[in-house]
Amino acid sequence: MPISAGKAVPPVVGLADVSDWSHDVDVLVVGFGMGGGCAAVEAAAAGARVLVIERAAGPGGTTVMAGGHFYLGGGTAVQQATGHPDTPEEMAKYLTAMSRDPEPDKIRAYCAGSVEHFTWLEGLGFEFERSFYPEKAVIQPGTQGLMYTGNEKVWPFMDLAVPAPRGHKVPVPGDTQGARIVIDLLVKRAAELGIEVRYETGATGLVLDDSGAVAGVTWRRFEETGAIRARAVVLAAGGFVMNEDMVAEHVPQLAEKPFVLGSTYDDGLGIRLGVSAGGATRHMDQAFITCPVYPPAQLLTGVIVNAQGQRFVAGDSYHSRTSAFVLEQPGSVAYLIVDAEHMQRPEFPLAPFIDGWETVTEMERALRIPAGRLAATLQRYSENAARGEDPDFHKSPEWLAPQLAGPWGAFDLTLGKALYAGFTVGGLRTSVEGEVLREGGGVVPGLYAAGACAANLAQDGKGYSSGTQLGESSFFGRRAGRHAARATCRATS
């Protein structure tokens, strides 16, 4: 199925205008990624007749590109086994502190239900390894089941909530496709529950009755078209990072130079379908954009400066948070400076190594930093680091080290020089049960959204933690599926 490009909102179809239905189901799910797959199996487990349509030739969407982190806490079996106590309350404090515009009911539900959700995920047929990876990394290099994947130990958040590692990784070595295991297990569970999945079939419009309630979906499969009668529809068709027009309108920072992370069908169709029925959107101007400078973790002892040689971020924060501060600098220019004692070259350098210099004066001249500025910054940072302090940006003592042993090297974090990657995080406004909400209040009857179609916990790069996307897509996808099934049962009883 080709991409549905542009910003146009698909026209709705009146119920009276549909004379023939290809299917008649309780719950129709549009998209078989993490959110859609979880919605489908939970709706079917609750007794609903479920159909899934997916534009691609197979399941997974952008999910299968993910490394396999699920952000879970509150005292999971892995946290307990590795000696990392946690509570739903502390987890909620952290997510609230990291949120640009928190939705307390969603955060409470997610944290209170996290242990149960952990158990449900393992019930699909895999097990998170009961082990902990203590190093600073983007993702565990092996199959270790737990690591810190956010800013839990970073100031000021470490003072607002008791830190705990919550990045639970599916047991696959490496940093890509760990989530594919979960998708494969969801496909298997869907088959066991009798769920029909129609691939290479895309939604083209929502069918509404006279009251504005969703009554079905029109579809197209190559040259074939039709309509599906459904008492509830769950939109789980991805984000909009592959739609140039929507990106240019909402998140132009993604249109400049970053490499975008998404599948062919992350074109915003699901969001636009929701808008066509009166659904409101949220956080459409927010994006996750990042260029990790670690591993090696030792590089975090260095100093990140802008074109004026001034520090502007601690540097020990989660990689997308650091990147977000870089992109706010004039010209999005920034450098990571590391001395000879702490220099280590990354195996896969996303921020290219520029050069090394015997003196700071030579380095200032080469980087076109005003004379004396970088030298003063390094001197102040190093003197404080020797005392285990960072009064300017509160970098953790764990990552403090004087940077006075020449020669010095510099990595280029500048946008356009470093390899930044990103995706959109905005989507349809939803209730804690996944119901699509109207701008002025109330719900769009019969319409739900999950995954990257919905704006739930992942709001921007500064507040993101690895595993949030898969965690909230699966968690709120399940809630949407259950609620949709219950609603259809009430409607037919």
Same domain, 77 and 111: yes
pLDDT of residue 174: 63
pTM over 0.85: yes
Same domain, 245 and 281: yes
Last residue of a domain, one of 378, 412, 446: 412
Single out the residue of 10, 68, 58, 66 nearest to residue 37, CA to CA: 58
Q: What angle do the packed helices 180-192 and 34-45 form, to 10 degrees?
A: 30
Quote the Cα angle for 162-166-168, to 5°.
165
What is the spatial distance between Cα 143 and Cα 165, in angstroms, rounded to a whole number? Answer: 16
- Within 10 A of 110 (CB to CB), how many other CB atoms are there? 28
Same domain, 383 and 467: no
How far, CA to CA in Å, does 108 sit from each of 186, 328, 430? 26, 32, 15
pLDDT of residue 1: 45
pLDDT at 4 over 60: no
Which two structure tokens, joined as six digits, stand for 486?
A: 């219950």
pLDDT, tens digit, for every residue of 142-157?
899 999 999 999 999 9
DSSP assignment of 41-93 equals: HHHHHTT--EEEEESSSSS-GGGGGS--EEE--SS-HHHHHTT----HHHHHH
Last residue of a domain, one of 131, 151, 169: 169
Last residue of a domain, one of 359, 380, 412: 412
Which two structure tokens, joined as six digits, stand for 175?
A: 């940093």
Domain that holds residue 101: 69-169
Same domain, 52 and 74: no
DSSP 454: B
Which two structure tokens, joined as six digits, stand for 480?
A: 């949407």
Same domain, 364 and 321: yes
The answer as to whether 5 is a domain residue is no
Q: What angle do the packed helices 360-367 and 373-386 form, to 10 degrees?
A: 130
Mean pLDDT on 279-308: 94
Same domain, 432 and 398: no
pLDDT, tens digit, for every residue of 160-219?
999 999 999 999 876 666 789 999 999 999 999 999 999 999 999 999 999 999 999 999
The answer as to whether 246 is a domain residue is yes
The answer as to whether 32 is a domain residue is yes
Say which CATH number the domain at 319 has. 3.90.700.10
The count of domains in the chain is 3
Write the CB contacts of 100 (distance below 8 Å, at least 6 apart in sequence): 283, 286, 459, 460, 462, 463
The answer as to whether 6 is a domain residue is no
Same domain, 397 and 334: yes
Same domain, 233 and 165: no
Question: Exposure string (b/e) for 449-458, b if CB count within 10 Å is 16 or more?
Answer: bbbbbbbbbb
The answer as to whether 174 is a domain residue is no
The answer as to whether 393 is a domain residue is yes
pLDDT at 490 over 70: no
The answer as to whether 4 is a domain residue is no
The answer as to whether 269 is a domain residue is yes
pLDDT, tens digit, for every residue of 444-466?
999 999 999 999 886 677 888 99
Same domain, 357 and 439: no
